[in-house]
Structure 1
Amino acid sequence: MKLANSFHKLLNLIDNYFFSGFLGEMPNDIWSSLYTSWLKLAGAKIGKGSKVHHSVKVWFPENISIGREVRIPASTDMAGMGRISIGDFVLIGANVDFITNHHPVGNEKLEQSEILRGTQSSISVGNNVWIMNGAKLVGGKKGLSIGDHSWIATGAVVVKDIHPHQLWGGIPAQRIKDLQ
């Protein structure tokens, strides 16, 4: 466990001082290609034609799988303590959060380390999904699944599974309509 923590600290240092500093002045397309390559080296599975913007925060890249022709734009947060799987041809807006961890609340007596460690869940996004700006996908206790050809509206907070071909929006997100 200590070795894994040291490795992640090293990745963060390299990211903060090398990529964000030195390479941060490069054009976005070059930077995205380099950052995407770096994530692959760190263990992320990223499909052909996909790119990750340099400002995307990726935690535990080894838990992240991204399909073909996916663009992950500015200020997205991928908290990959649990598994994050994104299908092919997914459109993701800026400032989207993928949240795969949670911790218990209530009257339970827990050690501080248990609270900080929390519980991991997974988020699975199907193919041809559109996640608009500012949406939050929360894995919760059971995980979260977004069906193929679904849309998630701007600012939505998704805490329930979404079936294929549906538009969801709101806080918490609810089905607005079917897309067929």
Structure 2
Amino acid sequence: MSTAAHAPGNYSVSNPEQALKYAIQHFAGDRAEIIEGVITPMSPSWAHENAAEVVRRQLTPRLEALGLVSGSGNLDLPGSENWFIPDLAVVPAELAAKTEGALLPDQTLLVVEVTSPSNGETDRTVKRRRYGQYGAPIYLLLDRQQRECTVFSEPGRLGYQTVDGPHPFGTSVHLPGPFDLDLETDGF
């Protein structure tokens, strides 16, 4: 057995994106995301969780009719240093049943983010832009600090092309197809 000290060397990682995402999946716990290369642990409050649950309950009848499920599973954004865990995402049930790892934003039908004092600006800017660039068809932003919600749709290379809102909490907000549902926002 050698007792020689290990000399520091010049190490490089051949794929930093892959190494960072591996680390987040295996060593950062169940609830951590990577936002623009920064590992960010998540610990939502009960009020935060309640807002996501209010949306989930209203969506459930449409999800069952359309063969969809909702959850907060991992979303990978390949080619970037981003690994998001949305507060709520809607995906085809068949896809969810056979996917052990992360999905891509363009495999979702709806992504919902609920702001917190610590992450509001990230949800308003970074995630809105990235979800649009990566093809999430609809992004619903529930801004608890501003007391308003906004529906973003028609994703494109620079983000979303269509913005419906912001609407103050307490008003009805329309989610476009395939949901075609008026979401009540007074429970946030």
Report if TM-score (shorter chain) is over 0.5.
Answer: no
Radius of gyration: which is bigger?
2
More strand by share: 2
Higher relative contact order (CA 8 A, sep 6+): 2
